[in-house]
Amino acid sequence: MYELKKILSHVGININDKQSEQFQKYIDLLLTWNKRTNLISQKDELRIIENHVLESLSFLLAFKIFPGSKIVDIGSGAGFPALPIGLIYSDVTFLLVESKRMKALFLKEVISNLKLENVAVLCERIENLSQNKKYQDQFDFAFSRAVASFDVVYGWVEKLLKPDGFYIAWKGGNVKEEIEKLQKNFKDICTDVIKMDERLVHSDKQRVFVRVQRRALNRRGET
């Protein structure tokens, strides 16, 4: 993981030897499990760091996370973007929500092998989770990457966010139409688009973050 450590150091993200070893174990487990269940495409196996790890960690150059924050990751799959961020921020709590059993088992094995005490996995559909009062108004951030149109995902995660909490979507290409749908369906939100840092994500990919803030006391259906 020397190359990853070097790249991150150049942008001001410093990882220690233990974290470097954890990233290597994570990738090794991912490649092993990918032979029996579809976590990432085969063509991505040689570009895990470039296509997945760095894109996940580009979040750290665009946003601040405060110690004690709680983050829910929707449709975690292979663990991107939450797991790489969780490896660096041990003082932040992550809940990885994955409805497919084999993928959830993979995430649990990664957490166990890497001894990540700040990360948990829940095998559940997000539509069901959002109706569970135990999880409502609990999270400072909700993440999604390659899940669904973010206007749809925001409808699922809105109840999970704390007042003034943020939903962050990792997206590519033209997001104008999706934003228009979002703003039509949810009037009292604040939305902006932030380009991913070109030092970690090549500009040709046209990757952006869409940030949606749930405004306090203005959740849909409230008066």
Q: Answer yes or no: is 131 within a domain.
A: yes
pLDDT digits (tens, 9 = 90+) for 26-63: 999 999 999 999 999 998 999 999 999 999 999 999 99
pLDDT digits (tens, 9 = 90+) for 85-110: 999 999 999 999 999 999 999 999 99
Residues 6 or more apart from 35 whose CB is under 8 A from it? none
Q: Answer yes or no: is 134 within a domain.
A: yes
The token duo for 167 is: 């939903």
Stretch 201-211: mean pLDDT:
94
**DSSP secondary structure string for all residues of 140-154:** EEEEEESSS-HHHHH
Instruction: List the one residue out of 7, 141, 21, 1 whose CA is nearest residue 74.
Output: 141
Stretch 187-206: mean pLDDT:
93
pTM of the model: 0.92
pLDDT digits (tens, 9 = 90+) for 146-193: 777 888 899 999 999 999 999 999 999 889 999 999 999 998 899 999
| Residue 221 pLDDT grade (very low, low, confident, very high; cuts 50, 70, 90) | very low
Of all residues in the chain, the percent with pLDDT exceeding 90 is 86
Give the phi and the psi of residue 95 in degrees, each rounded to 5: -115, 115
Q: Answer yes or no: is 88 within a domain.
A: yes
Instruction: List the one residue out of 185, 152, 186, 187 whose CA is nearest residue 169.
Output: 152
Q: Answer yes or no: is 219 within a domain.
A: no
Q: Answer yes or no: is 41 within a domain.
A: yes
The helix (run of H) or strand (run of E) holding residue 18 is helix 17-33
| Residue 216 pLDDT grade (very low, low, confident, very high; cuts 50, 70, 90) | low
Looking at per-residue pLDDT, the higher value among 149 and 129 belongs to 129
How many structural domains comprise the chain? 1
Give the structural domain span for 195: 2-214
Q: So what's the pLDDT on residue 79?
A: 97
Q: Answer yes or no: is 220 within a domain.
A: no
CATH number at 135 reads 3.40.50.150
Give the phi and the psi of residue 155 in degrees, each rounded to 5: -60, -30
Q: Answer yes or no: is 146 within a domain.
A: yes
How far is residue 223's CA from residue 218's CA, in Å, rounded to a whole number? 7
Q: Answer yes or no: is 221 within a domain.
A: no
| Residue 218 pLDDT grade (very low, low, confident, very high; cuts 50, 70, 90) | very low
